Structure formats: C-alpha cells, structure tokens
Structure 1
C-alpha cells in the first residue's frame, strides 16, 4: 500500500450483515472455547436466537494452535463468500505473531465486518493499514455467552455494528469489572455483580469533532507501534479520533502516561483532534471494588491522560471513562469509520456505514 494521503483516503465500505447470514467465530489469539466450552456454546446459541445469525467455527476456534494456523482461519473466513462477518471469541497476548501470515487480497475483495478488541488491536490495526474498516469490541466469550442474556446496551450496539446505522452511546447506570469465573455454573445464569457508573468526563474545547477512529488497547497498541509493520505516517491520521483503553493487566497511571508520552513524541497525539478514553478496569480480582477506591483510581488515570494531552495537544477534545473497553457493559465502536465526539452537547455518536448487498 502507498504511504501518502490522510485517514479519509481510499477506504473501503463494509457490507451489511443480515438475519440468516453465516458469520465466522474465530480465536485469532487465545482459544478460550477450548477451555470453557459451555460459555462458548451459549454464545453460539444466542447468536442464532437473538440475532438470527448462523455461527461457523473454523479449525482453530476451539484449539490452541500456531500463529500460522490461526492466520489461515482468518484468511479463509475473509475468502469465503458465504461468510458475512467475523467475530473473535476473545483476545490474548500473541496475536502480533500471526499478522505476518495474513493476506490482504481477499479482505479487500470482499470487505466484511471483523469484531474484536484487546489483543485484537493487532488485527484492527492491520485492517486499517489496508484501508478496511472494522469494529472495536464484541468478543463472544465476554459479552455474548456469559450470564442470563447479553446486556441490552451491548446487544443494541452489536446489531448496528453489523447492519449499519448511527449509535448514540449511553452512559450505563451500573458497571462491572469482571464477570463470574467461566468454570463456575453461575457464569451461565447470573449477571456479574455491579456498582453505580460514574458519568463520563469531558475536557478540552467546546466543539464537535467527526473523524475516523483509530487506536485500541493501549498496551497492545504500544506493541503495534514498536513493530511498526502496519502503522502509516503520522500525517495520515490527521483530523481523526483516537481511541485508547487499558486491559485487565492494570498498567499504573504513571505507566499510562509514559505510553501516552510515546504517542506524543511520535506525533500521534497532535495528529488526532479528539480522544476517547475507555473506562479502565481498576481491580481485576473482584467484580465490585470499593466504589471510593475505584473512583480515586480512575481519577488518577484521568489526571495522567490530561497531563499528556496538555503537553502534546492542548486543543484536543477529550472524553474519558467511555464504556468501550474492558469493563462491562461495552459499546462497540467503528474502527476506521467515522465517530463524532461532541464536546458542545457532550455526546458520542458512532457511525456504522454498511453498503447494501444485492
């Protein structure tokens, strides 16, 4: 691919997903279904019953394999014309080793939504490098399979991510850090314990920014940037919206600042006009941390985010603690497509554009 232009140049448009369509369910990182099949099978049932989709598993969906074999599944799913979307089961920590084996030709010939987050930041970045949009969020093992039903907020977001449309993100009334252990029977029947969600936090100029979304899990993105295979010149991200969120590995606020400083030194913080910071997990040992402790922890993250923004792009519109990362429930976001961060009305709108199929 050439290395000139901006984030708005030469992007493909994803095609709509309809009821009755076949969708691939893959494990491009960790094969969680191999270890917790009951949660996985419940997720497959819900894709059929609640969304009218027909999930199709590939050879490595339930099997721990090599990066080359996992890449073969991804390539095969994109090359299969009967498959109309690809859903990851979960993230992991080694997907970056799979990306050299990916083939962009079938992806660009038949662009279809890929859904994933966390370690799937690698695949999202690879797709964006080839000007193919995707969807940040939606791993089946996390948000579809557990509990009595998918959370309505997540399910509404998922439907629009597949079929297309504008999604105004809501602040949930309650949030959870983690769910029940997947080897416990309650994982199949009970919602995770929750506590009141604090409102999103806004900073920066009072203006609205609409631009293409790029970024992902901050820890994984730092690996993507270090390798540099699928990162375009800084000027191509000009005017976009940067999405950042952290994982259950709980980097400290100061570690987050250091990673943001690297983005700043690379010129990326200055390139984007708005920043969406995902609500971070602050205690992965308990579903319900002490609310006062959790509030203080998130305030410490917000402080370090704003510190980096003040040093590298003080005119950036910033919204923090948006429910689009590792906490539950989760909004899906259009990766490589337009999103509006409205600092005037303090509203975030995801624009999922889908081309009609014959």
Structure 2
C-alpha cells in the first residue's frame, strides 16, 4: 500500500535532523543562512535535539540519532522532516525508527546522499513516498540564484501546487524542466561569500520510445549499505532507477555499477536516470560515469537519461521515491504520472 504525505505550506513547521555528519557544527554560517532562507519563505523551523552537537564524524550515537528523528516523526506540528546533510552512517538508524508513527501520521521526509538509506528504508517498511531532494545546510545554505532554483522545485513538488485529481486523471502529469545552468565548484562553506560560477546545462536522452515505471533509487554508494536487507526496496520489473554519486573515483563507480549488474538489476529495470557526479575523479582516463556504465552494460539495451539534476550538484530537483514516472526518449522529457502528495 502506498502512503502519501500532505503538502507542506508556508506557515507549517519543517523539522530538521542530523542523521550522520554534524553540519550544524562544522558549517555554522551556512547553517544560519539556510535557516534564514526558509524562514523568509514563511516556514517555521524546529531543530532536532542533536543540533549544534558533534561526536567527531557524526552528530551523536546511533540511539541518539534515531531518537532525534523519532521525536520529529512523533511531533504532530512537524509536517516535513528534512536532513541537514548526509554523511556515511544513516543506515545505522533503520532498526530503530518508529515506522508505526509514520504510518499513522505520514509526513514529508526529504534529503539526499547518505540519507538515501532512510528514504528507501522508510518507503520499504511503510509504503510512504519519500523525497530525494534538498538538505537544509547543504542545499538551502547555497547563495542565489542557485538556491532559488532549488527552492522552486521544492515549492512546486511539495507545497501543493498540483492537485491530486489532476495528476490522477493524467491531465497534468508533472514534467521536469532542465535548469539552464549547474555547478559542482567546491568552495569552503565558511568562507564562501558569493554565488558559485556555473556551467551551461545539458541532459542526454539515450534510447528510443517511452518507458514507464516506478521511480526508485538514490545515492549509489549508500544503497550498497542496505542492499539485501529489509530496508532496500526490491527492484521490480519495469522500475526507473535513479542513481547518482559524489566525490568518487572511476574505479569505485565501475565497481558500484558492476554490483548492480551482478544483482540482476539491469535485467529488470526499464530505464536509468543517471544524476550528475559531483567532482568526479576520472583517474586521468578522460572517461565519465556514463562511459563506465556503458562498458558495464556491454551492449545491454537499457535506456539512460544522463545528467539529471537530482544529485549533489546545484541546483537540485526534487524526485519522489515510489511514484510512477515516464521518460519519453523521443520528446526528451521526464514526467511524474502518479500522485506523490495527498490533498485533504
């Protein structure tokens, strides 16, 4: 059974939590800028109890991090739960999440990168559609105009502009628009004082015809940490697989793609949505992640949308996990065709 959260509106409360890295400690200026940005948009913010706390590489113990998330899940005022950033250890929380409370009060759960473990785990355990999208510090602490484009996607998809009836009737499927520019330029967060330089954007549609299927996936490296567990949704025939990564070398990316092949994933899915790879290290090969993927596929006919902006780069588009999607490779479009929000 698929569960849908309600939209989050201006005036509602967004709760934020730190399931892995302590960004509220190591990036205090960016943290404050991010809070001010969302408050200016009319949202109330509620801090998780590990805000401002650090246990070296993480925000707190496994149990403390799980309780921080559970407190927001159980809080009826909180309508959207947003991670501050990713990290490496969100999968540790999965056995301790109050899934029943989420079933009783479905709410928007959003983040990316290492938070993939929570997004997929919650979806697998409850059927609740979750959202691969911006994190508080990492995304909303960026400078304009990139942060404005990220928020525009957040607003359109999560703040109630699209009616459930219209989407159900497919009179108004939501089609993504490619941002004109993007960036993965690295600047020290605490010294950054202006907008990052950008590059002209492009998406590649490699394939023909129209594919339809359930959208599932997220950060490729993180999925390896839940693969084979009850918290990884089983890949189904016809799924559209979203995969992206950050700061990896080509040898690691090749291994991750091979893992999917060995698990039979490419035999089931209808298409791959490959997000941009932030600061990819090609090890002097001159090759990109797409090249590594094509080599691993070895002629297997899996259509690919390459360069999608739901990843570690800026701006970031929101992608619902567990909804129906459609990629038209001839018209070069990617659309959502089933509801991702519930309207009272």
SS of the residue corresponding to residue 282 of structure 1 reads coil
Aligned with residue 297 of structure 2, among 289, 294, 309: 309
Matched-pair contact (CA < 8 Å) for 1:179–1:191: no
Tell me, what secondary structure is at the counterpart of 2:288? helix
- Measured in 2, the distance between the counterparts of 1:180 and 1:330 equals 17
**Residue pair 1:27, 1:62 contacting (<8 A) in 2 also:** no
Q: List per-residue Cα deviations over 1:87-135 (Å, max 9, x = no partner).
A: 1110001112222211210111111111111100110111121211111
| TM-score, reference length from structure 2 | 0.87
- The Cα of 1:149 is off from its aligned counterpart by 5.5
Distance, in Å, in 1 between the alignment partners of 2:293 and 2:184 is 21
| Maintained 8 Å contact 2:17/2:83 | yes
Deviation digits for residues 286-320 of structure 1, max 9, x if unmatched? xxxxxxx99x85x5321221233345xx3432111
How many pairs were matched up? 326
Question: Which residue number corresponds to residue 205 of structure 2?
Answer: 202
Which of 308, 331, 334 lines up with 1:322 in the alignment?
Answer: 308
Distance 1:327 1:179, change over 3 A: same
1:124 to 101, 115, 119: 119
Alignment partner of 1:22 is 2:18: no
1:275 aligns with 2:275: no
Give distance in 2, aligned partners of 1:347 and 1:315.
19
The 8 Å contact of residues 143 and 150 in structure 1, kept in 2 or not, is answered as: no
Measured after TM superposition, the shift of residue 76 of structure 1 is 1.5
Matches within 5 A, 1:73-112: 73-112=68-107
Q: Is the CA contact (8 Å cut-off) linking 2:24 and 2:51 kept in structure 1? A: yes
Q: Return the offset for 1:354.
A: 1.2
In the alignment, does 2:325 pair up with 1:339?
yes
Alignment of 1:209-224 (within 5 A): 209-224=211-226
Distance apart, 1:20 and its partner CA: 0.7
Three-state SS of the structure 2 residue aligned to 1:354 is coil
2:196 is the alignment partner of 1:192? yes
> Paired residue for 2:244?
245
Q: Is the 8 A contact 1:207 1:317 kept in 2?
A: no
Residues 1:176 and 2:183 are matched in the alignment: yes
Distance 2:233 2:135 in 1: 26
1:32 is matched with 23
Q: 1:175 deviation in Å? A: 2.0
Residue 39 of structure 2: which of 40, 44, 48 is its match? 48
Q: Report if the CA contact (8 A) 1:19-1:53 is conserved.
A: yes
3-state SS, counterpart of residue 215 of structure 1:
strand
SS at match of 1:258: helix
Secondary structure at 2:76 match in 1: coil
SS in 1 for 2:102: helix
Unaligned runs of 5+ in 2: 54-58, 163-172
Query: Does the CA-based 8 Å contact 1:135-1:335 persist in structure 2?
Result: yes
Q: Deviations over 1:166-190 (max 9, x none)?
A: 5432333332113431221xx3x41
Against the structure 1 CA distance between its residues 26 and 161, is the aligned structure 2 distance closer, same or farther, given a 3 Å change threshold? farther
TM-score between both structures, scaled by the size of structure 1: 0.84
Aligned-CA RMSD value: 2.3
